[in-house]
Amino acid sequence: MFKVTWRNLVARKIRLALSGFAIVLGVAFVAGSFIFTDALGGAFDGIVSGTTADVEILPEGAGQVDTFGTDARTIPASLVAELSQLTEAEMVVGTDQVQGVFVISKEGKLIGGNGPPGLAFNYNEMTAITGERILTLADGELPTTRTEVALDIDTAEKADYDIGDEVTLVTPGDPPTMKAELTGLVRFGSEGGLAGATLTIFDAQVIKDLFFGGKDVYTHVSLTAAEEVSQIQLRDAAQEVVPEGLDVVTGDEFAADQQDAIGEILGFINTFLLVFAAVALVVGTFLIINTFSILVAQRSRELALLRAMGASKKQVNRAVLSEALVVSLVGSTVGLGLGYLLAIGLKALFGVIGLDLGAADMPIQLRTILVSYAVGVIVTLIAAYLPARRASRISPVQAMRDDVALPEASLRWRFIIGAVMVAGGVALMGGGFAGSGGRGLLLIGIGMLAILIGVALMAPVLGRPIIHALGWAYRRLFGTVGNLATMNTLRNPRRTAATSSALMIGLTLVALMSILGQSAKVSTDKAIEESLTAELIVSNATGQFFSTAYGDQIRELDGVASVTTFRQATAKLGESQAYLQAVDPRSLGAALQLPVDSGSLRRFDAQSVLVSSTRAESSSLEVGDSVKLTFPAGPKAFTVAGVYPVGGAIAGDFLLSLEGLERAGIKPEDSLLFISKEPDASEAAVRSQIEDVLVDNPTVTLKNQKEFAEEQRGLINTVLYIIYALLGLAIIIAILGITNTLALSVIERTREVGLLRAVGVSRRQLRTMVRLESIAISVLGAVLGVVMGIAFGIAMQRAIADQGIDVLSIPWLLLGSFVVLAGLVGVLAAVLPARRAARLNVLEAITTE
Amino acid sequence: MFRSAAKPIPSKPIPSKPIPSGSYTATAPGGGVAARVFEVLKVYGEGDASVAALDGVSIDFAADAFTAVMGPSGSGKSTLMHCMAALDTVSSGQVFIGGVELAGLGDKQLTKLRRDKIGFVFQAYNLVPTLTAQENIELPLSIAGRKVDRQWFDTVIDTVGLRDRLGHRPNQLSGGQQQRVACARALVARPEVVFADEPTGNLDSAASAEVLAFLRSSVDDHRQTVIMVTHDPVAASYTDRVVFLADGKVVDELRNPTADDVLEEMKVLSARSVAGTAAGH
Ligand SMILES: Nc1ncnc2c1ncn2[C@@H]1O[C@H](COP(=O)(O)OP(=O)(O)O)[C@@H](O)[C@H]1O
Ligand SMILES: [Mg+2]
């Protein structure tokens, strides 16, 4: 029996190669996700261990990386002198590290900045736990004055700066931008590069003057151990000297903590990517089932012959499954390779949004290999099981017949099972919306999947009217060729439906995202229009914080009535993250009208917070309650002064006062400025003054309400485009699936194609016929997908209406263009099969068995 | 004796004078010539493995006549049909259909020729399974964008007796009915020549008789030209003329044959071939 399997594999290599495609792409997505996140993790791990010394001393709790908002606490410099006395320490170095220092390129563009940090510190000669110097001077000299800096080599190259050039920097301090001469280039120790982070080196005294008010303090102190001294011994020795309120951590421990925390964040990215991999695999499963069904159908005569010769049902079943196994192994191997390429593609994609991995390693870990093969093999075997079982049910007598038909489950049963799945899916989604958090999402996801599979099962029936409508148009436009194409689409409704379903799934998600995106945009527009009273807004498109100096300077300008500052941070509330916004309660009213559900804005002060309605509900908070938020510097209690509805201008869980946030130990750095002008001042005049203040900084920009709304739309678009790009893969698989089905159908109908050619159908007409069939399949998928997407979109929008997306907006034009695009996709998918059909030798085609 | 390489290319209209040749040349009886093959050589494969399926065949097929091509299996009958029906190309020699020489025509022109000038009936699988009988019959016309001549269509349908089956799909028709639909399709475009390669090969005698009667009447009543390959002496007896092939050569012919004549001739030929084979050793 194995011999038969092997012969079949060799004899049908083209068909199997086609069926293997689906596996290849699905596995590639899984492998690519893992390789990419491993590369990401590796790069960050490299940065962490490359910058960590044997022992690190820092303010208590400041090692946390999963919060943002800059910790304002520092360490007195006198500690360095004390620690230097230790015989266990070979070197003791104090570092002043500042985040938010960005380099502006010669062309006035921000380098990095869309996520990876802009780091600045004083030069040091420390050795990291990797055994390498954290920094080495690669070229030129170290900066010594206030108007001199050094940059890391990569950043200087990207910004096109050479030694001696004048460098423009954006800083979180005062002045918010500065110019300095580039005196030298430093090389960062770790191999993987800086993951897009930029490095600016200041003189040790200059950095204190610029960012720490000239105080002799450090953000952290690093120690290297003397010969024969372990990290632990050094830590214990240092512990003796270090006062309360500071953490003393071994380098290994510090690096591990940081890497864990980063790993957790990267885990989200991995999960995010794997969701799309799962989508690709579900789509791929459809294709594998379809391909094997077609292959089995085409071979039913041969299988019947095997049965007639005495092969048992089990053996036939196993023969088909072993074919699937071999295909899956080959497919997984190729998929793994393609996954590597895909990871490079993801690297480029994430590079576009600023997460630049440079020359980072792309490791293929054993885990990646195992998962890839497991996914490839299991999915294929599951997918091939149904066709295999069907194959084994062929009765031996059928070998004698002319046209062997496989036993097919009736469409009615399929429809009923599909309907049950849809009902179950709706129930699951309902449960998901009622629940919350990860479990809720999971339920929604499974519910959607069940509905999609249910609809796919019903598609042969649901799709009929669509095909008939298309067929009517085809006959009108293309006459007999159109008729032939329509009849071909209808001759095997299961096959057509399964092929369309793959596209349907991809398009459902694309349509869903486009509806959510559009609703989010319209909701944001509405929130801005309804609640924003300030005329002008200063914001940073990259989401980075900016210097408070801007707000201070703008406040002094003529014609400016008020400037309302917003800041952001995160804190922990119990185990969960809480997103904080902060504003000066007195100037809040000048910027926007914030409605309150309960409580009052009048009670909002430095000791209190406002809480969003969703957070109030999920954390059971009411007006008057005390809420304890934990910052890097420690916990801080606030009174709940009011509850505001989500969906207005304020995003996030809590609104604090600026004073409250500063008292919690967060360094003042602004995220938004809302500016109201004097009623009689000219907007143009105020604008030009403010623009003068913001000069030299390409990312912090001035907008009016309309432009601000556009910027918000831009942010939503960026997210949408990334999701579209990732869903694109599922769609590519679906397109290949159409190609695959058509190619197999053309092979199957070789004799018929020959007959058509013999009676005078031209090559061109034949190509048109295949193309029209392809368009019918893809348009069917697109129509079903868009309809499903609209249904899901409406349901999702309703479900999250209380989280800020309170307006439903359906982008009809876009959805319509998806259907048109699907038609084009159909044309594309048909290229190869159509060519193959047209090129068939008429005589050979007629005489094939 | 072989002719020199210089080709005496007959131009349109095809001269009715028999073309002299080294081998036996079958000549059409009087009237016009609907199709002609001249010194056709068709070689499959290369070098030692090459087979001359047609080895210098020259035949004129009279217009408005029913001609049968017979011969043992492998004698080149199908190859001849394919070469004449513009489904295959010859290695050398010439093929004319209604005054048009096939050599040098591109795929587009060949397709058009098949569509407009040639009708074809195969042994089996003649119909597109997704189309109804009527759609199958009208296929060559509709893909050409030509109007169906209703009167002619009705005549054809009534002759084949398919009026009540027009809406059926091939899998709802018996083998004989399917072949009759195929014949109707071949005739409905009023082609120059209808080629039929063992059209009754898969049919029982009753169904065969129906198909053959139909082909006969299309020649007699509607002045069609039909060329049919067959193994069956009874089928051959429906024709005006039988051309015998053996080993890719024309070896004999009969006119206005009866089934017994054909059977007799077949016996003679097979005895000759056995003797020839024996002598060869
Ligand atoms: N495609 C082909 N390739 C190689 N040889 C072929 C091919 N088609 C036919 N032949 C050979 O040509 C000869 C004539 O075949 P054919 O015309 O089919 O005979 P018939 O129809 O009289 O039985 C046979 O010897 C056959 O093996
Ligand atoms: Mg034959």
CB A544 within 8 A of CB A100: yes
Residue contact A491–B82, C-beta within 8 A:
no
Pairing mode, if any, of strands A148-152 and A177-188? parallel
Ligand 1 atom at shortest distance from the alpha carbon of B77: 22
Q: Can you give the pLDDT at residue A336?
A: 93
* B76 CA distance to ligand 1 middle (Å): 6
Q: Can you give the pLDDT at residue B77?
A: 93
* B223 CA distance to ligand 2 middle (Å): 26
Looking at the predicted structure, is the pLDDT value of residue B112 above 50? yes
Q: What is the dihedral of CA A51, A53, A58, A63, to 10 degrees?
A: 50
Burial degree of A692 (CB within 10 A; 0-12, 13-18, 19+): exposed
User: What are A825-842's pLDDT values in tens digits?
Assistant: 999 999 988 998 888 888
Looking at the predicted structure, is the pLDDT value of residue A277 above 90? no
Q: Can you give the pLDDT at residue A737?
A: 85
Nearest Cα of chain A lies from the Cα of B140 at a distance, in angstroms, of: 6
- Which residues in chain A have their CB less than 8 angstroms from residue B142's CB? 479-480
Buried b / exposed e over B209-219, threshold 16 CB at 10 Å, is: bbbbebbeebb
Of B112, B128, B135, the CB nearest to A752: B128
Radius of gyration of chain B (CA): 19
Of B88, B108, B135, the CB nearest to A762: B108
**For testing the chain B interface, which of A475, A480, A491, A753 should be mutated: the one with the most B CBs within 10 Å?**
A480
Chain B residue with the nearest C-alpha to that of A488: B130
Domain boundaries, chain B: 66-86+105-280
Looking at the predicted structure, is the pLDDT value of residue B186 above 60? yes
Which residues, 6+ apart, have CB-to-CB distance to A752 below 8 Å? B125, B128, B129
At A359, the pLDDT band (50, 70, 90 cuts) reads: low
Q: Could you tell me the pTM of the whole model?
A: 0.79
CB A761 within 8 A of CB B111: yes
Average pLDDT taken over every residue of chain B:
83
Looking at the predicted structure, is the pLDDT value of residue A117 above 70? yes
Structure tokens at B250: 């024309």
* A398 CA distance to ligand 1 middle (Å): 30
Ligand nearest to the CA of B122: 2
Structure-model confidence comparison of residues A394 and A602, the more confident one? A602
Question: Ligand 1, from B79, B195, B229: best to mutate by most atoms within 8 Å of Cβ?
Answer: B79
The separation between CA B220 and the C-alpha centre of its own chain, rounded to angstroms, equals 17
Residue position matching structure tokens 């053959």 = B212
Residue percentage of chain A with pLDDT more than 90: 24
Q: Give dist(CA A540, CA A692) in Å, integer.
A: 16
Looking at the predicted structure, is the pLDDT value of residue B68 above 80? yes
Looking at the predicted structure, is the pLDDT value of residue B13 above 70? no
Q: Can you give the pLDDT at residue A843?
A: 82
Ligand 1 atom at shortest distance from the alpha carbon of B72: 22
Q: Give dist(CA A573, CA A579) in Å, integer.
A: 10
Q: Can you give the pLDDT at residue A788?
A: 94
Looking at the predicted structure, is the pLDDT value of residue B3 above 50? no
Structure-model confidence comparison of residues B238 and A721, the more confident one? B238
3-state secondary structure A74-92: CEECHHHHHHHCCCCEEEE
* Partner A contacted by B131 (CB < 8 A): yes
ipTM, interface predicted TM-score of the complex: 0.82
3-state secondary structure A96-154: CCEECCEEECCCCCECCCCCCCEEEEECCCCECCCCCECEEEEEECCCCCCCEEEEEHH
Domain boundaries, chain A: 55-261, 464-533+705-849, 547-696
CB of B51 sitting under 6 A from ligand 1: yes
Which residues, 6+ apart, have CB-to-CB distance to B125 below 8 Å? A751, A752, A755, A846
Which residues, 6+ apart, have CB-to-CB distance to A571 below 8 Å? A67, A69, A577, A578, A580, A629, A630, A631, A664
User: What are A460-474's pLDDT values in tens digits?
Assistant: 899 999 999 999 999
* Partner B contacted by A475 (CB < 8 A): no
* B55 CA distance to ligand 1 middle (Å): 12
At A67, the pLDDT band (50, 70, 90 cuts) reads: low
Question: Ligand 1, from B40, B43, B51: best to mutate by most atoms within 8 Å of Cβ?
Answer: B51
Of A491, A751, A759, the CB nearest to B130: A491
Looking at the predicted structure, is the pLDDT value of residue B96 above 60? yes
Structure-model confidence comparison of residues B278 and A429, the more confident one? A429
Closest CA relative to residue A638, chosen from A648, A623, A651, A652: A623
- Which residues in chain B have their CB less than 8 angstroms from residue A770's CB? none
CB A514 within 8 A of CB A815: yes
User: What are A492-501's pLDDT values in tens digits?
Assistant: 888 888 889 9
Q: Give dist(CA A484, CA A299) in Å, integer.
A: 24
Q: Give dist(CA A832, CA A38) in Å, integer.
A: 37
Residue contact B140–A759, C-beta within 8 A:
yes
Looking at the predicted structure, is the pLDDT value of residue B225 above 90? yes
Burial degree of A737 (CB within 10 A; 0-12, 13-18, 19+): buried
Looking at the predicted structure, is the pLDDT value of residue A731 above 60? yes
From residue A544, how far is each of A113, A450, B84 by CA, in Å?
7, 41, 79
At A587, the pLDDT band (50, 70, 90 cuts) reads: confident
The arrangement of secondary structure in B66-86+105-280, i.e. its CATH architecture, is 3-Layer(aba) Sandwich (3.40)
Residue B30 falls in which region: left (phi positive, over 0), alpha (psi -120 to 50) or beta: left
User: What are A37-53's pLDDT values in tens digits?
Assistant: 888 888 788 888 888 88
Asked if the bond preceding A175 is cis, omega within 30° of 0, the reply is yes
Closest CA relative to residue A291, chosen from A15, A500, A12: A15
* Partner B contacted by A600 (CB < 8 A): no
Which residues, 6+ apart, have CB-to-CB distance to B112 below 8 Å? A760, A762
* B230 CA distance to ligand 2 middle (Å): 9
Closest CA relative to residue A484, chosen from A298, A750, A761, A780: A761
Ligand 1 atom at shortest distance from the alpha carbon of A843: 1
Nearest Cα of chain A lies from the Cα of B115 at a distance, in angstroms, of: 4
CB of B151 sitting under 6 A from ligand 1: no
Looking at the predicted structure, is the pLDDT value of residue A651 above 80? no
Which residues, 6+ apart, have CB-to-CB distance to A347 below 8 Å? A36, A39, A357, A360, A362
**Minimum CA distance residue for ligand 1 atom 25:** B74
Of A479, A487, A760, the CB nearest to B111: A760
CB A124 within 8 A of CB A105: no
* B170 CA distance to ligand 2 middle (Å): 23
CB of B75 sitting under 6 A from ligand 1: yes
According to DSSP, the residues that pair with A631 across neighbouring strands are A634
Residue contact B140–A760, C-beta within 8 A:
yes
